[in-house]
Every structure is written in C-alpha cells, then in structure tokens.
C-alpha cells in the first residue's frame, strides 16, 4: 500500500512508495491519505470464454444461523463477476443482527479477493431489495444498544463503499431506509420502474443513520436530498433515474429481476476493462471528490502512477497497435 501522510505543519508531507516526484508546495495536496497499490489483481486470470456457470460460497458467522446473505461467483465468460445475494425471505431482507453480521463477513472477504472484478448486490426475495431496519429487533433494544447497532450499520455501509472493485445495486423492489443506504454505498445503481425507494426515517421519528444523510446529497444534490429526507418521500425507478439517484431504470419483467438483468449487463461492460486501471479510477474519483480540485489532481497523478508499470498497460498498448481485443490479467 502507498500512503500520503502529513507529519507536522501545513507544508510537511511525506510521499512514501509512490514512485513520483512530490508536488510543489503550492499545489494544495496537503494532509491527504490515499490508499493505492499495484498488487490488486493476481496473475493467471482466465480468458473470458466458454459457457456461463455459477457456484455459490456461503459465508456464516455462526453455522447455526440461517443463511441470510450469500455469495455467487459467475463463471465462463462472466468470470470475475460476483453476486451478493440477500435472502432473508421471512423478514424482507430487514437489517437484523444475523443479516448484518453475515454481510459484514462477506464484504470483508470480498475486499481481499483480487479475483473479483465487479460485485452486484441483489435480492432473492421477490418485490424487495431491502426493507431497511428490523423494527422488531430494534424495539427490544435500549438506547445504548440501538446507538451501537446503528453504528455497526454505518460501519457496514462504509465497508461496502470501500470495496476496491466497482459495485452495483440492483433494486427490483422496495429499498427503504437502510435498504436505500445500502444501495447508496454502492458505486452504481439500477432499478425497475416498479421499485420504490426512499429514506423514510423521519416518518419514524429518526434520521438516516447509516450514511444516507451524507451519500444522498452527494448523489442528487443537497437541496433535493433535503426535500426527500425532510418529507420521507418514496420515489419509483423512473423518477429515481430522472433525479440521478440511479444510473439505469427499466420496465419490470415477468420474472421480477429486470434491475438485476440491467446490472448484469452493466457489469459485463466493466468486466473486459483492465482491472487495476478500473480500481485506480475508482480510488481517484472517490478520494478526489472529498478534496479541492488541486488536491484531486495530485490524487489522480498518484493513482495514474500505479498503472504505468503494470503488464496490463503494456497489453493495452499492444492490443491497440495489433488491432485485437486486449486480454487483461490484473498484473
């Protein structure tokens, strides 16, 4: 990992392991922390050929708990796409203790899985993406327990947002409260026109507490976000597209998975691209959006420096010259 760290004073910055010349002192790139690195993908990536097969790996915190969150890896031409499956059928994927614990373990494992190039978050519960907080569990908590649980939810959403590869939320049904906060933690969102989404916490005497009050303004602008949060309004998929809340919206199909199909199509567009370059582009945009433009340019420069020595960059240049599709291995 490479880091940009401030030691002392407004102009004292140490540039470690970046392989680039430090910027001039007037460029404003002071006090930033950047987590970047070249060794993001292993060698030996398989060609994206053959028929698509799937297999599932379960993630449990406790073997006695039912499976509420699962992982499916696509194979064949879709190798590199992983699907996080939310399958708490009886409670409409409500964010209860077991669900959150299993999701946290799974996301933690994904964060270190360099074979995964794109992640899709989807629901196996018809008509629901995630219904938000488990109000039955929350009703049994005292004030301290409730605060600690919401802190854990916020931490989980930050884990999802920090995944190094692109993430897509496929909303084929209701995404309310914490369910929409989970989708907002993803990089991209697709929705069926029939989906309903909203940060409805003010209708329950609360405010969005798992990142929604921060991520919604960044997605749609602060004035519109205030309107949606103050009113607790729900919007459909088409309206969400017009507001900029989702990237793609589509009519629901007979099998009820139109948003997932749209997310898979989007993942397949990302999949052939150079994985280290994609991860560094995500890092540059995420970190750059948090700082001023001059500091953002410094972040872009550092991320760019990480892709220059990669074999994938050489493969991309060679493929262009030879007029053939590039075969990226993540090296």
In angstroms, rounded to a whole number, what is the distance separating the alpha carbons of residues 32 and 328?
A: 31
In angstroms, rounded to a whole number, what is the distance separating the alpha carbons of residues 206 and 135?
A: 12
Distances (CA, A) of 202 to 177, 205, 206, 208, 240: 10, 5, 5, 8, 19
Task: Single out the catalytic residue among 45, 80, 177, 178.
Answer: 178
In angstroms, rounded to a whole number, what is the distance separating the alpha carbons of residues 185 and 289?
A: 15
Residues in the chain: 331
Task: Single out the catalytic residue among 29, 133, 183, 284.
Answer: 133
Task: Single out the catalytic residue among 68, 83, 137, 201.
Answer: 201
**Are 306 and 2 spatial neighbours (Cβ–Cβ below 8 Å)?**
yes
In angstroms, rounded to a whole number, what is the distance separating the alpha carbons of residues 1 and 297?
A: 20
The question of whether 178 is a catalytic residue gets the answer yes
Q: Report the relative pairing of strands 69-74 and 81-86 from DSSP bridges.
A: antiparallel
The question of whether 181 is a catalytic residue gets the answer yes
Task: Name the residues annotated as catalytic.
Answer: 133, 178, 181, 201
């Amino acid at each position: 990992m490479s880091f940009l760290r401030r030691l002392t004073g407004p102009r004292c910055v140490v540039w470690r392991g970046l392989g680039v010349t430090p910027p001039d002192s007037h460029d404003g790139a002071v006090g930033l922390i950047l987590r970047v690195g070249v060794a993001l993908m292993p060698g030996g990536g398989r060609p994206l050929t053959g028929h698509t097969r799937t297999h599932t790996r379960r993630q449990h915190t406790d073997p006695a708990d039912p499976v509420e969150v699962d992982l499916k890896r696509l194979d064949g031409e879709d190798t590199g796409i992983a699907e996080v499956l939310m399958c708490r059928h009886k409670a409409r994927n409500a964010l209860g203790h077991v669900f959150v614990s299993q999701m946290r373990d799974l996301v933690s494992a994904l964060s270190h899985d360099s074979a995964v190039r794109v992640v899709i978050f989807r629901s196996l519960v018809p008509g629901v993406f995630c219904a938000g907080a488990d109000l039955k569990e929350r009703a049994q908590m005292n004030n301290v327990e409730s605060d600690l649980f919401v802190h854990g939810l916020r931490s989980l959403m930050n884990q999802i947002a920090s995944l190094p590869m692109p993430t897509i939320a496929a909303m084929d049904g209701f995404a309310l409260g914490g369910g929409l906060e989970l989708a907002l933690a993803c990089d991209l969102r697709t929705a069926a026109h029939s989906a309903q989404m909203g940060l409805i916490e003010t209708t329950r005497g609360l405010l969005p507490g798992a990142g929604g009050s921060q991520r919604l303004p960044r997605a749609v602008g602060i004035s519109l976000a205030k309107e949606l949060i103050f009113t607790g309004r729900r919007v459909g998929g088409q309206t969400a597209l017009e507001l900029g809340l989702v990237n793609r919206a589509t009519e629901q199909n007979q099998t009820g998975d139109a948003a997932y199909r749209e997310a898979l199509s989007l993942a397949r567009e990302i999949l052939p691209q150079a994985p280290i370059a994609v991860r560094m582009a995500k890092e540059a945009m995420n970190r750059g959006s948090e700082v001023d433009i001059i500091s953002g340019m410094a972040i872009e420069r550092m991320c760019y420096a990480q892709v220059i020595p990669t074999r994938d960059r050489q493969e991309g240049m060679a493929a262009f010259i030879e007029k053939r599709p590039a075969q990226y291995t993540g090296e």
